[in-house]
Structure 1
Amino acid sequence: MADPSGAAPQPGPNDISTAILRPKKSPNRLIVDEATADDNSVATLNPATMDALQLFRGDTIIVRGKKRRDTVLICLSSDDVEEGKIQMNKVARNNLRVKLGDLVNVHQCLDIKYGKRVHILPFDDSVEGLSGNIFDVYLKPYFLE
């Protein structure tokens, strides 16, 4: 009913006219945060967030950013990460075209198989002028546990 003072009624929590202003309640939407580790293939989440998404340490996840950009990352847990946030380094954020504070969607990736053999070969023009052991300098850091 109308207020006797003539003022318009205040919208309630279920008023659809203000529904767009409320944050989404989807557990898969996380806020991007700066990573403490500098690993290009790792995303760090809070253990409570991982439980809500039914993820475990070492799971492969697909992170979808702006403009439907996807990247595949390995999921790690840390109590240092706030609940509802995901930590990624700058390379992963650039792949997704997101900035700190943007929202991303996170889903478990079940269809990735383990590789039995991987061939990593350089282009001829990319190794010109490089000296020393190319494996130790460029590849070994990506394959350490």
Structure 2
Amino acid sequence: MAMDQLLAEVSRLHFPRPPATPAQVAAFEARVGWSLDPDLRSFYLHCDGCTLFETLPDAKYRVLPLDEIQRARRAIRASDEEQDGAASQYTLVDMQDTNYVVMDVAQAVNGRYPLFDAWHETYPQVERIASSFEEFLEKALRSGNRSFWLSSGPMEE
């Protein structure tokens, strides 16, 4: 499914925040030292974060607003030391159970950042769950509010 269709679904059926401005995107990129990939740029110019399926505090999927994205090792281990995780991994989705979905900006493939499950007990070990934010968002929207990479049951159609 195309990113514009996924974003329309987020707006229609879920809980998006107001869009980030181009100035907010530029400030974010200056702060972190890397650029949003095309999927993430589209998402953040459409909505600066969202929750899927439920509102806070009950939301399981909380795509972070730009001002809350940080190095995964800072969010998960409260550390900025190399042994506590790669400097290139950043939080993207707070799963509201002390676990995150993180992206690795050093592993871009075809200009898109892959996403990983970052389970707090085993971090910095991560498991790849999507090749891009578009793939992740599509699977999340079909998940029935389950962590799709952990669920063994059928996804929603």
Normalising by structure 1, what TM-score?
Answer: 0.21
Normalising by structure 2, what TM-score?
Answer: 0.20
Greater relative CO (CA pairs within 8 A, separation 6+): 1
Q: Could you say which structure has the higher helix fraction? A: 2
Larger Rg, first or second structure (1 or 2):
1
